[in-house]
Amino acid sequence: MTGEAETRDRVLAAAEQLFAEHGFRKVTVREICRVAGANVASVNYHFRDKFGLYREVLHSAIVVMRATTEAARKAGQGRPAEEQLRQFISIYLHRLLTPGHESIQRLIHWELHDPSPALDEIVDQAIRPRIEYLADVVARMIERDPGDEAVLRTVASIQSQSNSYLPSPLLPHGQIARRLGFQFEPTPANIDAVARHITTFSIAGAYAVGRAGRTRGRRRRKG
């Protein structure tokens, strides 16, 4: 065990950046090693193969995602459901968009769009806890069971809005957004503004969905 960690860590760092930017498939082992200033064989030596390297990068991303959900949960502890939702959206968006953690979230976005065999781990360890927490919060807001279809759809509505602000080519960031006249710099103030918008939009939307289901005669929450 000598200066081994050196190149291993450089490769890992380069891989995280490149995988986040371009996805797993488009990035070549040679490019990673060129950026890391390492030999082509270093990937296979330290990580068995290209996918082993990818999996290692994903693992650290999963840790960050879980921490985000946990932070949101703690921030809203003991408060009413609506306030918990506010906290969640604010914290989630800040971690999503603040430069630095940004690349990690982009990595997940790639994996969701073009899944690899590592998808299951991400869903089970990172996404499911977040969805379950959100479903619990929304369920208490609109007085339904967490498994109710209206709850799940509302969770999907909230999540899709937040994720659309990821710095992907999608709305409202990036190339498309620029062509459409959108402009968004991820400064703390702007992130706050977006968080406020999604919060206002989603809370009103959630209550409306709750009311609509109730007047149409759906069952209310047990107890």
Partner DNA sequence: TGACAATTCAAACAACTGTTTTATACAGTT
Partner DNA sequence: AACTGTATAAAACAGTTGTTTGAATTGTCA
Residues forming contacts to DNA in the complex (CB under 7 A) are: 1-4, 6-8, 27-31, 38-46, 49-51
Handedness of CA 34, 36, 40, 44 (dihedral sign): negative
From the list 32, 106, 27, 5, the residue with the least C-alpha distance to 64 is 106
From the list 122, 139, 138, 147, the residue with the least C-alpha distance to 66 is 122
Closest to DNA by CB, 41 vs 180, is 41
DSSP 169: S
Site for its own copies in 120-149 (CB under 8 A): 120, 123-124, 127-128, 131, 147, 149
Residue 131 interacting partner from DNA, its own copies, none (CB closer than 5 to 8 Å by kind): its own copies
Question: Looking at this protein, which amino acid is placed at residue 114?
Answer: D
Site for its own copies in 2-41 (CB under 8 A): 23, 25-26
Q: Residues in the chain, how many?
A: 223
CA distance 133 to 84: 10
Site for its own copies in 42-101 (CB under 8 A): none
From the list 111, 109, 91, the residue with the least C-alpha distance to 174 is 109
CA distance 47 to 59: 13
Closest to DNA by CB, 42 vs 105, is 42
Figure out which of the listed residues 6, 49, 114, 192 binds its own copies, where binding follows CB under 8 A.
114
CA angle centred on 103, ends 102 and 106, rounded to 5°: 90
Closest to DNA by CB, 38 vs 195, is 38
Site for its own copies in 158-197 (CB under 8 A): 159-161, 163-165, 168-172, 175-176, 179-182, 193-194, 196-197
Q: Tell me how far the alpha carbon of residue 113 is from its chain's centroid.
A: 12
Closest to its own copies by CB, 38 vs 88, is 88
Binding site for its own copies (CB under 8 A): 23, 25-26, 112-115, 119-120, 123-124, 127-128, 131, 147, 149-150, 152-154, 156-157, 159-161, 163-165, 168-172, 175-176, 179-182, 193-194, 196-198, 200-209, 212
